[in-house]
């Protein structure tokens, strides 16, 4: 009987472009017999073919050579930027609100569902670097639309370091590890980065975002995404509008503290990746609303004085509100990291009718780069045939041959016009769905120069800073102080302080004080209009989906209360973890609870809130004190019911501080107050008390 053919060993099927599914009988490890790549069954894969048991290995051992050769070539070059990433499959559902501005059906048609693959990433670190480093996050979405693939390759910050793509190698060379020793990994806290950005003031606005809490998101679930550039949308009547794309996380925007981010980089370098995969597996999808800011398509591409072609500028949401046009739900983990997450190839030039690019010089350079980079990374021009990159729309191109060609093309005439193959395939008209570039007059004198409007580098940086709450501003001051303190060159610090003085005098003074340097005076903008939408602090408690609540218990604790808490937490889509002095199972009467985290194997970064169960009074453990002290210092929710309060007092926690919830039992008022505290993300009112005591 011929061996059963396994799907993962066959050529990709065009009908299943997103690749493998995870049903049992398709697993690679379920075939009948181990074979070579040629299908020859093998009797032994542990011993190479040798002359005797101690003799040299024989050249004729085709299995050894094939196994080792393949292994030697398992790696492909990592992405030159955004090498570290994690991804998920999902669906985008349009709500019909975009119909007036675009003819792209996947955005315009109410209720239309489009499969997507989304990859999140950090920018500077290598593939194996930590998730929680201070960095920009990539937010790249591939929409497998019926009209072809559309890729929205965005970031979690709405502006960029450079205005012209020709400088991209400069900013990246400056941010990457130093070329002599290849350190530091995945960070901007070093001389070359600050050397470049202090000399290159157009980076100032983006640097402010990178030094803010946005640079250290709590989860991919709780960060915004932005298309950054201005796009041009075209509706069914041919009318155009300029738009900016926004992803708004349904779970709210929330970040780590810098200390947590640093701890997580050591305790769990896979912090974000694990959170994405675990949540999806637990049935708690990641959700984001897609929104657009719509501006008129004017000749000068400006809106209220803001140059829409300048990627260092935003349009404040108070000026142009974000119109929600659909929802993204990420609900399926990849089956194979390499096949999907590593091989997915995003390209800003993957556009569908109804969506056009603009003349933003940063975007224009990207249109070249994303196709080009795959030739090295994926080894040739046929990477669109890799299952994760295959469109769902029918593909009928005349592209032929090349490295790793998977298709067995039939016919004789891969050229047009032809008569040999009946003149097929034919080009389409606009009415038949062709991507027809909107006719637009383009003229200008050939020159290497920016428009004058690009030279304002400070006013929006000041607007960003002054729009934030005091605690968010304090975090920015601390971030600048940390990063500049890591530089060796005094001249770089001084130059950067001079730039900060041109943003905000108080910002400059406080960073200078932290560095022990005099604060230079500058020319900071006056009377800045603020944009409250830029602050991450929620106006009230939001959802707690996917958040992690730890409950500390020990032998003799109120385990039925723990059970009640678990049910209440899970009903909110959050996760409960039982924490105890040792692993194993806790028992009391007929109740029992499996310990999910022994104190020795956990740290505060794993929890959004910690609760102490009744019946634990007297529990003293150094690790527990550290856990509670960190939770308190990071302004996270802390709660206790019954005599659990005593454990808090014994650990020196001020039980009257904001964000500390006490109760007699696990009753509704207790859980409601706890969930509200988690839904507020942090008890920032505690921050001053924390600062004062340190
Ligand atoms: Fe990228 N960028 N980029 N970039 N970028 C890449 O493409 C590039 C820029 C972004 O998860 C590369 O396939 C240039 C802005 C994301 O696979 C490369 C310029 C924004 C990802 C590349 C920019 C981004 C990339 C590396 C200046 C936010 C990860 C591997 C002109 C709007 C996509 C690859 C993924 C990846 C070039 C600027 C976002 C080399 C030349 C601005 C999210 O092609």
pLDDT in tens, 679-690: 999 999 998 778
Do 100 and 203 reside in the same domain of the chain? yes
The number of beta carbons lying within 10 Å of the beta carbon of residue 663 is 21
Find the domain containing 632 and state its range: 548-693
| Ligand 1 atom having least distance to the Cα of 119 | 11
Residue having the nearest C-alpha atom to atom 14 of ligand 1: 366
Do 184 and 314 reside in the same domain of the chain? yes
**Ligand 1 centroid – CA 23 distance (Å):** 34
Tell me what pLDDT residue 690 has: 82
**Ligand 1 centroid – CA 279 distance (Å):** 27
Out of 95, 149, 155, 333, pick the active-site residue.
155
The number of beta carbons lying within 10 Å of the beta carbon of residue 350 is 22
Tell me what pLDDT residue 8 has: 39
High-pLDDT (> 70) share of the chain, %: 96
CA distance 521 to 40: 76
Do 598 and 491 reside in the same domain of the chain? no
Average pLDDT over residues 29-45: 92
The number of beta carbons lying within 10 Å of the beta carbon of residue 469 is 14
What average pLDDT does the chain have?
Answer: 94
In a domain, 10, yes or no: no
Average pLDDT over residues 602-631: 95
Per-residue pLDDT band at 691 (split at 50, 70, 90) = confident
Do 554 and 517 reside in the same domain of the chain? no
Residue having the nearest C-alpha atom to atom 8 of ligand 1: 366
Q: Residue 604: CB within 6 Å of ligand 1?
A: no
| Ligand 1 atom having least distance to the Cα of 79 | 30
Q: Residue 365: CB within 6 Å of ligand 1?
A: yes
CA 211 → CA 140, 206, 606, distances in Å?
22, 9, 23
Tell me what pLDDT residue 692 has: 73
Task: Assign residue 227 the CATH number of its domain.
Answer: 2.40.180.10
Do 566 and 644 reside in the same domain of the chain? yes
Q: Tell me: the pLDDT tens digits for 230-284?
A: 999 999 999 999 999 999 999 999 999 999 999 999 999 999 999 999 999 989 9
Tell me what pLDDT residue 29 has: 82
Q: Which of 422, 6, 330, 12 has the alpha carbon at shortest distance from 142?
A: 330
In a domain, 421, yes or no: no
Q: Are 363 and 311 in contact (CB under 8 A)?
A: yes
ipTM over 0.95: yes
* 184-344-139 Cα angle (round to 5): 60
In a domain, 40, yes or no: no
DSSP state of 279: H
Kindly write down the DSSP assignment for every residue of 473-528, as one continuous string.
HHHHHHHHHHHHHT-S-HHHHHHHHHHHHTT-HHHHHHHHHHHT-PPPP--PPSSP
Do 318 and 241 reside in the same domain of the chain? yes
Tokens read off for 4? 């059963």
pLDDT at 5 over 50: no
Domain count, the chain: 3
Q: Tell me: the pLDDT tens digits for 421-461?
A: 999 999 999 999 999 999 999 999 999 999 999 999 999 99
Per-residue pLDDT band at 620 (split at 50, 70, 90) = confident
CA distance 51 to 190: 56
Known catalytic membership, residue 82: yes
Do 480 and 558 reside in the same domain of the chain? no
Average pLDDT over residues 575-598: 95
Across 351-460, where does the E strand assignment appear?
A: 355-356
In a domain, 284, yes or no: yes
* Residue count (the chain): 694
| Ligand 1 atom having least distance to the Cα of 140 | 43
- Domain end: 389, 410, 443, which one? 389
User: Best mutation site among 139, 141, 153 for ligand 1, i.e. most ligand atoms within 8 A of its Cβ?
Assistant: 153
Q: Residue 226: CB within 6 Å of ligand 1?
A: no
Q: Residue 168: CB within 6 Å of ligand 1?
A: yes
Q: Residue 81: CB within 6 Å of ligand 1?
A: yes
Per-residue pLDDT band at 285 (split at 50, 70, 90) = very high
Q: Residue 138: CB within 6 Å of ligand 1?
A: yes
In a domain, 174, yes or no: yes
Q: Tell me: the pLDDT tens digits for 540-579?
A: 999 999 999 999 999 899 999 999 999 999 999 999 999 9
Q: Check the annotation: does 231 bind a ligand.
A: no
Tell me what pLDDT residue 19 has: 43
- Domain end: 389, 411, 444, which one? 389
Do 524 and 559 reside in the same domain of the chain? no
Per-residue pLDDT band at 693 (split at 50, 70, 90) = low
Q: Residue 373: CB within 6 Å of ligand 1?
A: yes
Phi-psi region of 141 (alpha: psi -120 to 50; beta: other; left: phi over 0): beta
Q: State the sign of the Cα–Cα–Cα–Cα dihedral 390, 396, 399, 401.
A: positive
In a domain, 445, yes or no: no
Tell me what pLDDT residue 24 has: 52
pLDDT at 463 over 60: yes
Task: Assign residue 475 the CATH number of its domain.
Answer: 1.20.1370.20
Chain center to CA of 216: 10
DSSP state of 55: S
| Ligand 1 atom having least distance to the Cα of 345 | 13
Do 513 and 556 reside in the same domain of the chain? no
pLDDT at 595 over 50: yes
In a domain, 66, yes or no: no
Average pLDDT over residues 37-54: 97
Q: Tell me: the pLDDT tens digits for 356-396?
A: 999 999 999 999 999 999 999 999 999 999 999 999 999 99
Known catalytic membership, residue 347: no
Out of 82, 89, 190, 634, pick the active-site residue.
82
Do 530 and 597 reside in the same domain of the chain? no
Do 643 and 666 reside in the same domain of the chain? yes
All residues at 6 or more sequence positions from 273 whose CB lies less than 8 Å from its CB, including other chains: 86, 131
Q: Which of 161, 318, 137, 133 has the alpha carbon at shortest distance from 222?
A: 137
User: Best mutation site among 170, 366, 376 for ligand 1, i.e. most ligand atoms within 8 A of its Cβ?
Assistant: 366
Tell me what pLDDT residue 553 has: 97
Residue 641 β-bridge partners: 663
Do 293 and 344 reside in the same domain of the chain? yes
pLDDT at 7 over 70: no
Tell me what pLDDT residue 25 has: 60
- Domain end: 510, 534, 558, which one? 534
Tell me what pLDDT residue 687 has: 86
Q: Check the annotation: does 577 bind a ligand.
A: no
CA distance 202 to 206: 8
Tell me what pLDDT residue 27 has: 76
Q: Are 289 and 324 in contact (CB under 8 A)?
A: yes
CA distance 309 to 363: 9
DSSP state of 327: E
Average pLDDT over residues 653-679: 97
In a domain, 198, yes or no: yes
């Amino acid at each position: 009987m011929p061996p059963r053919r396994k799907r993962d060993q066959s050529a990709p099927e065009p009908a299943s472009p997103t690749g493998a599914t995870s049903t049992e009988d398709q697993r690679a490890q379920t075939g009948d017999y181990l074979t070579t790549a040629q299908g020859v069954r093998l009797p032994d894969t542990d011993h190479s073919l040798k002359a005797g048991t101690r003799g040299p290995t024989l050249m004729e051992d085709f299995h050894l050579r094939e196994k080792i050769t393949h292994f030697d070539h398992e790696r492909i070059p990592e992405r030159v930027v955004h090498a570290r990433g994690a991804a998920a499959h999902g669906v985008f559902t349009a709500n019909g609100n975009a119909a007036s501005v675009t003819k792209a059906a996947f955005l315009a048609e109410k209720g239309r569902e489009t499969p997507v693959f989304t990859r999140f990433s950090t920018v500077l670190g290598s593939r194996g670097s930590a998730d929680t480093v201070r960095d920009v996050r990539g937010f790249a979405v591939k929409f497998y639309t019926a009209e072809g693939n559309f890729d929205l390759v965005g970031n979690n910050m709405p502006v960029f370091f450079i205005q012209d793509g020709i400088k991209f190698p400069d900013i990246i060379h400056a941010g990457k590890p130093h070329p002599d020793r290849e350190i530091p990994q995945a960070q901007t806290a070093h001389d070359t980065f600050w050397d470049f950005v202090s000399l290159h003031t157009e980076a100032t606005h983006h640097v402010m975002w990178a030094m803010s809490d946005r640079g250290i998101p709590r989860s991919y679930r709780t960060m915004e995404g932005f298309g950054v550039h201005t796009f041009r949308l075209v509706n069914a009547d041919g009318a155009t509008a300029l738009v900016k794309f926004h992803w708004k996380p349904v779970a709210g925007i929330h970040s780590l503290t810098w200390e947590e981010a640093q701890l997580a980089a050591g305790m769990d370098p896979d912090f974000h990746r694990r959170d994405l995969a675990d949540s999806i597996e637990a049935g708690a999808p990641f959700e984001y609303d897609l929104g657009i800011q719509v501006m008129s398509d004017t000749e000068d591409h400006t809106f209220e004085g803001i140059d829409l072609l300048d990627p260092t500028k935003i349009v404040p949401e108070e000026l142009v509100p974000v119109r929600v046009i659909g929802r993204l739900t990420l609900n399926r983990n990849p089956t194979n990291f390499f096949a999907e997450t590593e091989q997915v190839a995003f390209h800003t030039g993957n556009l569908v009718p109804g969506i056009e690019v603009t003349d933003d010089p940063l975007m224009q350079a990207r249109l070249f780069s994303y196709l080009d980079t795959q030739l090295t990374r994926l080894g040739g021009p046929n990477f669109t045939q890799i299952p994760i990159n295959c469109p769902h729309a029918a593909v009928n191109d005349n592209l032929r041959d090349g490295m790793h060609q998977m298709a067995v093309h039939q016919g004789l005439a891969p050229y047009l016009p032809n008569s040999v193959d009946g003149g097929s395939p034919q080009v389409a008209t606009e009415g038949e769905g062709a991507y027809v570039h909107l006719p637009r007059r383009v003229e200008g004198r050939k020159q290497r120069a920016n428009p004058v409007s690009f030279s304002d580098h400070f006013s929006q940086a000041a607007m960003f800073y002054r729009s934030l709450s005091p605690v968010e501003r304090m975090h920015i001051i601390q971030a600048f102080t940390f990063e500049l303190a890591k530089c060796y060159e005094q001249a770089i610090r001084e130059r950067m302080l001079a730039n900060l003085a041109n943003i905000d005098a108080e910002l400059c003074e406080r960073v200078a004080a932290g560095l022990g340097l005099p604060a230079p005076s500058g020319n900071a903008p006056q009377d800045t209009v603020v944009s409250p939408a830029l602050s991450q602090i929620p106006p009230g408690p939001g959802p707690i989906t996917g958040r992690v609540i730890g409950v500390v218990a020990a032998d003799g604790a109120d385990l039925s209360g723990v059970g009640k808490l678990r049910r209440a937490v899970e009903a909110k889509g959050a996760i409960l973890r039982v924490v105890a002095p040792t692993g194993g199972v806790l028992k009391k009467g007929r109740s029992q609870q499996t310990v999910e985290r022994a104190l020795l194997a956990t740290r505060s970064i794993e929890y959004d809130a910690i609760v102490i169960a009744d019946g634990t009074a007297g529990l003293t453990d150094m690790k527990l004190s550290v856990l509670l002290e960190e939770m308190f210092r990071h302004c996270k929710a802390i709660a206790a019911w019954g005599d659990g309060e005593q454990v808090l007092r014994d650990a020196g926690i001020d039980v009257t501080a904001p964000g500390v919830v006490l109760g007699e039992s696990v009753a509704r008022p207790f859980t409601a107050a706890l969930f509200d505290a988690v839904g507020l993300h942090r008890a920032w009112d505690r921050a001053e008390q924390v600062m004062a005591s340190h």
